[in-house]
Amino acid sequence: MSTFISKLSIAKTGKTLHTYFLKKPSPPFYSIETFRSRKHALEHFDIIHLKNDMQEIGFSLKAHAHDCYMIVVVTSGGGTHTIDGETYKVEPPCIFLLSPGQIHSYEFTTDIEGFAVYYTVDFYLHYARERHLDRTPFFHSIERPTFIRANTRTIKPVLSTLEEMLSEFTQDVNGKEDVLRNLIDIFTDSNQQIMEWQAGRDKKDLDHGAGPETH
């Protein structure tokens, strides 16, 4: 397991400055291969109902990272989700978007509901595509969102896409990988629409002196 060096303390003795370092194990790094045992799991893609996912791996998990993209859409329940040191309160409906290598941990309530999606860059870019991950603001932009707020109206197209994605995923048919890639594009478009709606609402609140909502 790889390690990183963290400064433990600094002690000054006379004119000599002594620095003590402690080797600490880095957070676990999970491969998408972890999910290969699931009934319908593909080599580089998986989707599962969030509660089922949490029942398998735990409703509370310490800091770790993945070698793939991860989408978490929460429709009910609560808890907290910490991503790269920033903690978000889970207030459904909401969406979390993680890139490979991002460190996260969570504590979800046992009534959590929604979807969890995992996929690799290799899966998405298997064939030449008109759109690529590095052209979307959700996974590669410095300003990329990690947490997206939604409401019962704006989350509907997202959930519709995920239901279709899950249905396609569980079918034993040829060509479903391409359908899943296209559904990822549709999911991304729906997120963009939610962000534009949210930005417009926040601007309207600012124009009226109310200020954006805070969570």
Ranking 4-13, 81-90, 117-126, 151-160 by mean pLDDT, the lowest is 4-13
pLDDT band of 146, cuts 50, 70, 90: confident
Structure tokens, 136: 């979307």
d(CA 58, CA 178): 31
pLDDT digits (tens, 9 = 90+) for 86-120: 999 999 999 999 999 999 999 999 999 999 999 99
Check residue 130 and give its pLDDT.
Answer: 52
d(CA 164, CA 184): 11
Q: What is the pTM of this model?
A: 0.77
Q: Residue 92: which of 112, 72, 75, 110 has the closest Cα?
A: 75
Domains in the chain (CATH in brackets) are 29-207 (2.60.120.280)
Average pLDDT over residues 124-136: 62
d(CA 3, CA 135): 33
pLDDT band of 211, cuts 50, 70, 90: very low
Ranking 16-30, 55-69, 110-124, 179-193 by mean pLDDT, the lowest is 16-30
Q: Contacts by 56-60 with C-beta closer than 8 Å and gap 24+?
A: 59/107, 59/108, 59/109, 59/110, 59/112, 60/106, 60/107, 60/108
Ranking 84-88, 171-175, 197-201 by mean pLDDT, the lowest is 197-201
pLDDT digits (tens, 9 = 90+) for 9-27: 333 344 444 443 445 568 8
